[in-house]
A and B are shown apart, each in its own frame.
Chain A
Amino acid sequence: MMWMNVARAQSLMPTRGTEVASQVSNLYSFLLIVSFIASAILIGGMIFFAWKYKRKTDNDKTPYISHSTALEFLWSFIPLVIFLGVFVWGWYVYHQMRDMPKDALEIHVVGKQWAWETQYKSGVKASNLVVAPIDTDVKLIMSSNDVIHSFYVPSFRIKQDVVPGRYTALWFKANKLGEFHIFCTEYCGTQHSGMIGTMKIVSREDYDRWLEEESKVGLLPLAERGAKVFQVKACASCHSVSDAVVKVGPSLWQRFGHEEETSSGEKVMFDENYIRESVLNPNAKIVKGFPSNVMPSFQGQLSEVEMAALIEYLKGLK
């Protein structure tokens, strides 16, 4: 059956993680086969005629054939029927993608430059990660903080723009365990291609366990909790913490207690207050060599405990 898969180009497609994905793949296979036949007729015909009716002498006579109503009717009508058939089939599958199940598990997703934030009913938050149970209707309710993004899971064959100022939705029912890519498919600036998340499909038990563990974050030691906040707020998409590599912003590795030069040439100490100011009011002091207005302000998004946890975490990056 290997050759069948190759012929249907399925081996090149991402795994099919949902029933809808299989349906899309079937429709795509059909389209490929029809396209191949149509191309064989037209391109094959072209090559055949080009070879058969190659110019022999400069005075070749050619027949004067102006048209043929029957033929022209045929090659308008047959494509029309095929196109309409494909249209209906495409509509049928599309309707299933768009028809939201009633009692689905709802997860909120917020797109922002350049990360996905997920929030569960219980208050658990994650970043660039959606954990969902297998064989369950899951509905994502999505919105954006800044510009338009698009939430795309190739293995599920689903995609939906994530638009600021309104909610859009997406649903799926995974039938495979594992981790799948989430890509952003609407151009959103510098780190557009870095806005990659993980869709993690787990068993029902693992899912409950995960939720349980995550909700206990409040009981963790401060620095570990800070590491969580750092993940969830997607600081990591702009700052590296394990080496000196510059991403969008400066590396925060081994910075605590060292002097920092700002764009105005002033020297400041990288201490508790400096971190606080950098996070709540990033434009107050700009690190030399970096642009202003890139790091978003986290004013109003962090509790005092979370702030303290972040500081504790950054202190410990050695």
Chain B
Amino acid sequence: MAATTHHHNPDVNYINEFKGIGSWLTSLDHKRIGLMYMISVLTFFLFGGIAALGIRLELFSPGQTVMTADQYNQFMTYHGAIMVFMVIVPGIPAILGNFFLPIHVGAKDVAFPRLNLLSWYVFMVGALMGIATLFMHKVDTGWTFYTPYSIKTSGAATMMVVAAFIMGMSSILTGLNFIATVHKLRCPGMTMYRMPLFVWAIYSTAILQLLATPVLGITLLLLAAERILGVGIFDPALGGDPVLFQHFFWFYSHPAVYIMILPAMGVVSELIAAFSRKTIFGYTAIAYSSLGIAAVSFFVWGHHMYVSGQSETAGIVFSFLTMLVGVPTAIKMFNWLATLYRGSISFQSPMLFALGFLFLFMIGGVTGIMLATLAVDVHFHDTYFVVAHFHYVMVGGTLMALMGGFYYWFPKMFGKMYNEGLARVTFVFIFIGFNVTFFPQFILGAMGMPRRYFDYIPAYESLNKISTVGSWLIGIGFLISLYVIIDGLLRGKKAPANPWGAKTLEWQVPSPPPHTNFHHDPVVTAGPYEYR
């Protein structure tokens, strides 16, 4: 599949073929839509990040320091809601998935380009509605909207809930589009088993998005109906059941954890293969473990509810099933490790993030098993141990992969190289800052400090101080990354088609790719990691 040839102008690509802001806002090109997602998600990330720094600043010392208890509760709500619904859920699938999934399977675009653009608009409507509540009576329910608090509290909770509902619609549309693309638009020779593992991961995620998100939608609508119309579904004062809400909520939100992490695992598979210049070890195992995780993840929601009052038997069943999800996850870890064996490993910044991912995800994983263990979870539930655990998975996992993925594909997306030295510096800040911030939180949790606490007893002070200092290091890391991106865009050297020597299809086309991705329809004759 020779890409560049004489009768195509090599200077024309998807960025400069059409001009003007209108050509972006009406573009059906999956690559442009991916970039539009990138700009919006990064903006929301800034909001969520500022909220995080605010939380940590207040917790630097016990007692009221920089904000009131009510303001703190709003900060933690917006931090959670923005980071989950507007950053991590859409993050990798909508940005990198949109951009690379079609190219990875040798397609010109996704199956339904118009739907793809629509899902960006739907996402923006939802996201802006969510942000708009900042200018109304701010929401203080936490991102989990637990009833009956979320029914009783003042604040624009209804609007926030409807916003999350709308963003869910967008997620469903994106998932649908990816599933159709994978099944219908693979180029000649691209069998399912020749797809890069990134595609398998996004595909498994898409199934989850399609099947789980509607449940969240219905739940949130019921909640809105209860707030507006006073129907008694969740409020015991009206004959409802508040714990039912938790079941509904986690029926979505546990699979959502995998909506957030599976794509990251996909990115890491690509990075490890590319920077070890070695075929991935256990391709089928990794591909199927993604599907396996997706399937089992529907049946483990009750592990968030061991102390909610659900029956002992329910707790036991959910604990057992949760242990089962651990197995495919362990398989992936070992496969990545085995891929490194006898590789030719280079430590460019994307690979540093991938190795960082393995390190942090390992800690996130073992602490996950601790939390799945019934008796131990009773102690840790709703303490900082849980906060630390899911940040190790969501941030240590997903965000590290997203950063690694950004740096890896940056040359392809923009046709420019970035400053490699500075990119490594960002890794050092983010990685060290992350551990300084979140490792002490495991200890705080073991000591018994509950989460969502505006104030705490003096015994927790020193570890909270360390954690806050860590958050500043992370902040610096991201500021430098912002500089690396802008600097790369403005002053970066022109990127070759394949700066890393990787084998997947996107590296066989020019950087940046042309509007239709391939100048000649590709025909595939081998797997995605043929380093021989």
List residues of chain A with CB under 8 Å of any chain B CB. 9, 12-14, 20, 23-24, 27-28, 31, 34-35, 38-39, 42-43, 45-46, 49-50, 53-56, 58, 60-68, 71-72, 75-76, 79-80, 83-84, 86-87, 89-95, 97-98, 146-148, 150, 152, 154-155, 157-161, 163-166, 168, 181, 183-194, 196
Nearest CB on A from B400, distance (A): 14
CB closest chain-B residue, reference A59:
B344
B237 within 8 A of A: yes
Given A13-B447, A53-B343, A154-B379, residue A163 in contact with residue B243 (CB < 8 A): yes
Minimum CB distance partner of B382 in chain A: A185
Tell me which residues across on chain B come within 8 A of A91, comparing CB atoms: 316, 319, 374-375
Q: Which of B12-20, B127-135, B448-456 contacts A (4 or more CB under 8 A)?
A: B448-456
Known: A24-B376, A31-B373. A53 touches B340 (CB 8 A): yes
Known A-B contacts A39-B362, A196-B457; the reply to A27 vs B376 at CB < 8 A is yes
B382 touches A150 (CB 8 A): yes
Chain A CB within 8 A of B323 CB: yes
Choose one: A54, A72, A87, A166; the contact of B236 (CB below 8 Å).
A166
B330 lies within 8 A of chain A by Cβ: yes
Q: At the interface with chain A, which of B169-177, B254-262, B331-339, B420-428?
A: B331-339
Query: Considering the chains assembled together, what is the distance between the CA atoms of A161 and B149 in angstroms?
Result: 14
Which residue of the partner chain, among A31, A42, A155, A165, contacts B337 with CB atoms under 8 Å?
A42
Q: Are A98 and B312 in contact (CB under 8 A)?
A: yes
- Chain A residues near B378: list those with CB within 8 A: 24, 94, 97, 157-159
B67 in contact (CB, < 8 A): no
**How far apart are the CA atoms of A38 and B341 in the complex, in Å?**
18
Closest partner residue, chain B, to A187 (CB atom): B452
- A145–B319 Cα gap in the complex (Å)? 31
Instruction: Considering the complex, give the chain A residue whose CB is closest to the CB of B306.
Output: A94
Q: Provide the residues of chain B in CB contact with A95, threshold 8 Å.
A: 312
User: In the complex, which residues of chain A have a beta carbon less than 8 angstroms from the beta carbon of B335?
Assistant: 72
Tell me, yes or no, whether B73 is within 8 Å of chain A by CB. Answer: yes
What is the CB-to-nearest-CB distance from A4 to chain B, in angstroms, rounded to a whole number? 17
Which of B359, B372, B532 interacts with A46 by CB under 8 Å? B359
Q: How many angstroms from the CA of A188 to the CA of B331 in the assembled complex?
A: 40
User: Which residues of the partner chain A approach B456 to less than 8 Å between Cβ atoms?
Assistant: 193
Contact assessment for B319 and A90 in the assembled complex, using a CB-CB cutoff below 8 Å: yes
What are the residues of chain A within 8 A of B316 when measuring CB–CB? 91, 94
- Docked complex Cα distance between A135 and B374 (Å): 25
A76's partner among B327, B343, B346 (CB-CB below 8 A) is B327
Chain A residue numbers with a CB within 8 Å of B73 are: 187, 189-190, 192
Q: Let me know if B455 and A53 touch, CB within 8 A.
A: no
Establish whether residues A46 and B375, one from each chain, have CB atoms under 8 Å apart when the complex forms: no
Q: Is B8 an interface residue (CB 8 A)?
A: no
CA distance A187 to B335 in the complex (A): 40
- Cβ of A46 and Cβ of B281 under 8 Å apart? no
Complex Cα gap A43–B360 (Å): 10
Within the assembled complex, what's the spacing in Å between the Cα atoms of A157 and B451? 16
Q: Which residue of chain B lies nearest to A293 when distances are taken between CB atoms in the complex? A: B154
Which of B345-385 touch A at CB < 8 Å? 345-347, 355, 358-359, 362-363, 366-367, 369-370, 372-379, 381-383
Are the C-beta atoms of B379 and A46 separated by less than 8 Å? no
User: Which of the residues A43, A146, A165 comes within 8 Å of B362, measured between beta carbons?
Assistant: A43
> Is the CB of B242 closer than 8 A to any CB of chain A?
yes
Contact B334 A42 (CB under 8 A): yes
| B450 with A183: CB separation less than 8 A | yes
Give the contacts of B292-337 with A (CB-CB under 8 A).
306-309, 312, 315-316, 319-320, 323-324, 326-327, 330-331, 333-335, 337
B234 to chain A, nearest CB (A): 10
- 7 A-B pairs with C-beta separation under 8 A: A42-B362, A50-B347, A53-B342, A90-B375, A155-B448, A157-B379, A163-B243
Nearest-neighbor residue (CB-CB) of A13 within chain B: B446
Which residues does chain B contribute within 8 Å of A157, judged by CB atoms? 375, 378-379
Least CB distance, A185 to chain B, in whole angstroms: 4
Are A53 and B448 neighbours in the complex by a CB distance under 8 Å?
no
| Given A12-B446, A152-B450, A189-B73, A93 contacting B374 (CB threshold 8 A) | yes
Interface string of B219-247 (1 = CB under 8 A from A): 00000000000000000110001110000
Q: Decide if B283 is an interface residue (CB 8 Å cutoff).
A: yes
- In the assembled complex, which residues on chain B have CB atoms less than 8 Å from the CB atom of A192? 73, 452-454
User: Which of A24, A34, A63, A90 has the largest count of B CB atoms less than 10 A from its CB?
Assistant: A90
B279 within 8 A of A: yes
Q: Residue B345 contacts which of A50, A76, A150 (CB distance < 8 angstroms)?
A: A50
**Among B358, B363, B453, residue most surrounded by chain A Cβ atoms (within 10 Å):** B453
A53 touches B337 (CB 8 A): no
The chain A residue with its CB closest to the CB of B305 is A161
A165–B236 Cα distance when bound, in Å, is 5
Which residues of chain A have C-beta atoms less than 8 A from B319's C-beta? 87, 90-91
A150 to B359, CA, bound (A): 34
Which residues on the B side are within 8 Å of A148 (C-beta)? 146, 148-149, 242
The answer to whether A66 and B283 touch (CB under 8 A), given A49-B345, A53-B344, is yes
CB-CB < 8 A to B323: which residues of A?
83-84, 86-87
Closest Cβ of chain A to B125, distance in Å, is 28
CB proximity of B467 to chain A, nearest CB, Å:
15
How far, in Å, is A182 (CB) from chain B's closest CB? 11
A50's nearest neighbour on chain B, judged by CB, is B345
Given A56-B344, A91-B319; A24-B375 close (CB under 8 Å): yes
Residue B487, interface by CB 8 Å: no
CA distance A123 to B450 in the complex (A): 31
CB-defined contacts of A46 to chain B, threshold 8 Å: 337, 340, 355, 358-359
Q: Confirm or deny: B69 has a beta carbon within 8 angstroms of a beta carbon on chain A.
A: yes
Docked CA distance A5–B511 (Å)? 57
